[in-house]
Structure 1
Amino acid sequence: MTNTLKCISPIDGSVFAERPVLSLDEAKAAAAKGRAAQAAWAARPIEERIRLVMAGVATVGAMNDEIVPELAHMMGRPVRFGGEFGGFNERATYMAEIAESALAPIEVGEDATFKRYIKRVPLGVVFVVAPWNYPYMTAINTVAPALIAGNTVMLKHATQTLLVGERMAKAFHSAGVPEDVFQNVFLDHDTTSDLIAANAFDFVNFTGSVGGGKAMERAAAGTFTGTGLELGGKDPGYVMEDADLDAAVDTLIDGAMFNSGQCCCGIERIYVHEALFDAFVEKAVAVVKGYKLGNPLDKETTIGPMANVRFGAEVRAQIAEALDAGATAHIDTFAEDDGAAYLTPQILTDVTHDMRVMRDESFGPVVGIMKVKDDEEAIRLMNDSDFGLTASLWTSDMERAERIGDRIETGTVFLNRADYLDPGLCWTGCKQTGRGGGLSQIGYHNLTRPKSYHLKRLGTA
């Protein structure tokens, strides 16, 4: 019997889409096609590669009216938020604009005897394993620069957003990107691991769980295949005594709850100076009580279901454990909470770092808020985590924020903002959040390799 991948819609638990997976032989053949097509693709002028990639991006944008409700069906994001094309286009456009300078040869020196320079050349076949929470934006982070740099790409999407890669491939192919240059594939875990172990790829970019990242590294062990891994997060916010309180509440609570808390750089824990703590909590509770939980296809819905019932179960477990250990819940159960995918957003106080809700990734609409007396306590608590993706600082004193930022174990430091990915900056993390970096000039460096040229002219000494 053919093994199939099934997307179970969080709206009602029905099967929204299913696709058969490739056999190992079929998957190897697809990877071989990508490898065979790579040299000719890389030989095309960079201007042509940029033009074709951006035409593919525009074609995805033309599908947006179909994509938005499709995403609601697959992973529960309310249609009122309009999908992901804004960020998808912003990231691809920025990477296209910097491509020629980021990939330009490094001129080392030229004289009558020698010409020396370093080129950035494509790695070959890049394998992108994309997540379901922001399936278009996370995929384009690597797909666009990898193709522009001259690599071929194989894209495997999470089962929860099964149709995203298919749509992207259709769009890019119709815009003129050759089918073997950009392939969408449906693979199970075993076939994925077997391909990586067989050196089918020259680089693997994975966004997902810590366990998934470890599986990728195990599969790549001994192959010398490069990996870029964006894994878990437990991103903190720190509100200092001189912060703009209303702005901090609005941004941090939105960062904690948007997309039902299912954001890579969502805010999962907040530390507030004791002078503002009570006011912050009062305002935060008022914001969350104003949310409307419901069917994401309803334009009045502001918070939809968790993408999968099992994700909701983990968040409920963390909340229940915290309450048993003495935490205080501030949000009464919403009428629409079904005990499964539809989950009441929650604010907790009286929390400690002995509780999983303050240490393990929640990836759901819950945030713990703790009172702190000074910067030293806040820094200690922010660093008391296995993860390090982003941290959000709130103060009117930029120099103070920079000093604190230098001491936080994180990939990105935000000041007076949160939960945003700037394509001009390297998207990276530390500790169990992973390794590598996407976007910015560094993103191009990670999708290419340096090749040195040391050329001596004939007839010289």
Structure 2
Amino acid sequence: MIQSINPANNQLIKTYQEISDNDLSLILKNMQSAFENWKTCSFNYRASLMKAAAEILRSKREEYSQLMTLEMGKPIVQSRAEIDKCAWVCEYYAENAEKFLLDELIQTDASKSFVTFQPLGVVLAVMPWNFPFWQVFRFAAPTLMAGNVGLLKHASNVSGCSLAIEEIFSEAGFPDFVFKSTILSSSRVKDLIANPIIQAVSLTGSVPAGKSVASTAGFNIKKTVLELGGSDPYVVLEDADLSEAVHTCVASRLINGGQSCIAAKRFIVVEKVYDKFVEMYVDYMKQKKMGDPIDESNDIGPQASVKLRDELHDQVLRSSNSGAKLLLGGFIPDLPGAYYPPTVLADVTPGMPAFDEELFGPVAAIVKAVDETDAINLANKSVFGLGAAVFTKDTAKGEKIAREKLNAGTCFVNQFVRSDPRLPFGGIKESGYGRELSIFGIREFVNIKTVVVK
């Protein structure tokens, strides 16, 4: 049995029956049959259904937002924004998929040669709890529009969201078994990947989960896209607008209660403005309210579970014991639920958990750099490479640093890192490989086929 627990009060929401092996096998066979028909459907037909899904998301925005907040503790205002973004990505691929997958003529010695993009079949998505709708729709919209069919294995604590997403596609008119949610434990994912019907896998999750999925998929020679953890560095140079930088950095650190792979994690500040930045950062963090995520006045809700909250607290304690200065928060409040307050650690250095590990919660690690060169070196001193940002009034210099010097898949200047359907998204190093979104995302799960005619 799989349980969904409300992290705001630790109360049981619902218990779900895990799918049997026989039922799962039947679903896979039906999905294979559905693919044979779906791949022949026109882009216009697929687009009409995807636009219908967008309309359902908007019409039931409050219902889905409440469900999301109930299951994983996201502040309700952010849940609503997530639903809006899901509708956007559906419309984006409905409007652009055909253009992205047009045949590309290439001049050769043959009378005709071209590249065509053909769907693969059943694609498995192993998705996390932190953005329970967005992570799925940013996979599903391009995957289905390309002519594939999608099987979702969602995180167990958001099983209600998983089933709701299947209902959205069904209500929008997608044929049966073009998109299916399945309730099963993570221990069964390995066998699922090995099933010959599964053609490819997309995973968003932890580094250990990514390594496990990549290993199994690799053994079975199946394509994977992995979006894993991050310890995003935000470099603050001495000419930065400190007020703007502080407000942006705090906003990014507290998105989704700090439970985001691309949330700001390490703030690397040159020493000439370090003390002022720390003072302003702590003052602004103090203004952020923690509490019931349904209450729109609260900035952060609980962490997704007591277990995850306690692991975060352990990282804070180990960092403090290693010499980091605890300037704010850093305690487990006497409240029901999985709450953890906005926390600031200063004088963080390499070797501390707050520098080396991903802090998945509302904990800021502030690092002092000697100068710009040292700041960039510290930013890149990480096993992760998902996102990064730099703050400077010299935007030309900021662009050069973002383009040439920061080692990450996505780099921003004077803004916090975020995903956008129009731009490719993904990481390097232990943050994963492959890209989602934009033209690059829809081409991940297709056969890029060369055709040559004499």
Which TM class, normalised by the smaller chain length?
Answer: over 0.9
Q: Is the 8 A contact 2:78 2:256 kept in 1?
A: no
Q: Say whether 1:425 aligns with 2:405.
A: no
Give the secondary structure class of the aligned counterpart of 1:419.
coil
Q: Is the 8 A contact 1:293 1:336 kept in 2?
A: no
**Residues 334-375 of structure 1: CA deviation (Å, up to 9, x unaligned):** 895549611111011121112111110111110111121222
Partner of 2:406: 408
Partner of 2:145: 148
Inter-CA distance 251–231: structure 2 relative to 1 (3 Å threshold)? same
Query: Aligned partners of 1:337 and 1:207: how far apart in 2?
Result: 33
Q: Is the 8 A contact 1:17 1:162 kept in 2?
A: no
Q: Is the 8 A contact 1:104 1:119 kept in 2?
A: yes
Partner of 1:103: 101
Q: Is the 8 A contact 1:24 1:191 kept in 2?
A: no
Match of 2:393 among 374, 393, 396: 396
CA drift of 1:115 comes to 2.3
Query: Aligned partners of 1:375 and 1:75: how far apart in 2?
Result: 39
Partner of 1:69: 66
Aligned pair count reads 452
Q: Tell me, which stretches of 5 or more residues in structure 2 are unaligned? A: none
**Residues 27-80 of structure 1: CA deviation (Å, up to 9, x unaligned):** 122111111111211111111111111211221222211122221211111223
The TM-score normalised by the length of structure 1 is 0.94
Partner of 1:224: 221
Q: Is the 8 A contact 2:199 2:223 kept in 1?
A: yes
Partner of 2:21: 24
Letter in structure 1 aligned against 2:420: D
Match of 2:432 among 426, 434, 445: 434
Query: Aligned partners of 1:81 and 1:213: how far apart in 2?
Result: 27
Q: Say whether 1:215 aligns with 2:212.
A: yes
Structure 1 residue ranges (4+ consecutive) displaced by more than 6 angstroms after TM superposition: none
Match of 1:60 among 52, 57, 60: 57
Partner of 2:118: 121
Inter-CA distance 337–79: structure 2 relative to 1 (3 Å threshold)? farther
Q: CA RMSD in A?
A: 1.8
Inter-CA distance 340–352: structure 2 relative to 1 (3 Å threshold)? farther
Give the secondary structure class of the aligned counterpart of 2:328.
coil
CA drift of 1:219 comes to 2.1
User: Which sits farther off after the overlay, 248-257 or 193-202?
Assistant: 193-202
**Residues 219-246 of structure 1: CA deviation (Å, up to 9, x unaligned):** 2233211011111110010011111211
1:224-373 paired onto structure 2 within 5 Å: 224-332=221-329, 337-338=334-335, 341-373=338-370
Inter-CA distance 119–285: structure 2 relative to 1 (3 Å threshold)? same
Match of 2:34 among 14, 20, 37: 37
Q: Is the 8 A contact 1:294 1:336 kept in 2?
A: no
Partner of 1:179: 176
Q: Say whether 1:384 aligns with 2:381.
A: yes
User: Which sits farther off after the overlay, 401-410 or 119-128?
Assistant: 401-410
CA drift of 1:396 comes to 2.0
Identity of aligned pairs, percent? Answer: 33
Query: Aligned partners of 1:322 and 1:338: how far apart in 2?
Result: 24
Match of 1:198 among 195, 200, 203: 195
CA drift of 1:325 comes to 1.8
Letter in structure 2 aligned against 1:251: T
CA drift of 1:93 comes to 2.4
Partner of 2:185: 188
Q: Is the 8 A contact 2:332 2:340 kept in 1?
A: no
Query: Aligned partners of 1:448 and 1:33: how far apart in 2?
Result: 21
Partner of 1:459: none
Query: Aligned partners of 1:97 and 1:18: how far apart in 2?
Result: 39
Give the secondary structure class of the aligned counterpart of 1:321.
helix
Letter in structure 2 aligned against 1:328: K
CA drift of 1:333 comes to 6.3
